[in-house]
Amino acid sequence: MIKKLNLAIIGQGRSGKDIHGGYYRSDKNIFFNVKYVVEEDARRRSIAEKIYPGCITLADYRELYNLDVDVVVNASFSDQHYSITKDLLEHGKNVMVEKPFGRNQFECETLMKTAEENGVLLVVFQNTQTAPYYLDALRWVKEGKLGDVKQISIHFNGFARRWDWQTLQKKVGGSAYNTGPHPIAMALGFLDFDKNTKVVYSKLDTALTSGDAEDYVKILLTAPNKPLVDVEISSIDAYSDYMLKIQGSRGTLKSTIGKYSVKYIVDEENPERPVIEEFLQDEEGNPIYCGEKLNIHEENGEYIGTPFDVGTATIYENLYYALTEGAELVVKPWQSAMVINVIETAHAQNPLPVKF
Q: Which residues contact 303 (CB under 8 A, 6 or more apart)?
A: 132, 133, 136, 255, 257, 258, 259, 260
Give the model confidence (pLDDT) of 102-133 as tens digits: 999 999 999 999 999 999 999 999 999 999 99
Give every residue of the chain whose pLDDT is below 50, as ranges. none
Domains of the chain: 5-125 (3.40.50.720), 130-308+339-349 (3.30.360.10)
First to last CA, the chain: 53
Question: How far is the C-alpha of 174 from the C-alpha of 347, rounded, in Å?
Answer: 11
Closest CA to 200 of 191, 209, 192, 208: 191
Largest CA distance in the chain: 91
User: To the nearest 10°, the Cα dihedral for 313, 319, 321, 325?
Assistant: 180
Give the model confidence (pLDDT) of 134-149 as tens digits: 999 999 999 999 999 9
Cβ(348)–Cβ(61) below 8 Å: no
Q: Which residues contact 284 (CB under 8 A, 6 or more apart)?
A: none
Q: What pLDDT does residue 1 have?
A: 77
E-strand ranges in 249-320 read 251-255, 259-265, 296-302
Give the model confidence (pLDDT) of 37-94 as tens digits: 999 999 999 999 999 999 999 999 999 999 999 999 999 999 999 999 999 999 999 9
The 3-state DSSP class for residue 306 equals: coil
Cβ(156)–Cβ(243) below 8 Å: yes
Task: Give the global pTM.
Answer: 0.96
Question: How far is the C-alpha of 188 from the C-alpha of 191, rounded, in Å?
Answer: 5
Q: What pLDDT does residue 355 have?
A: 97
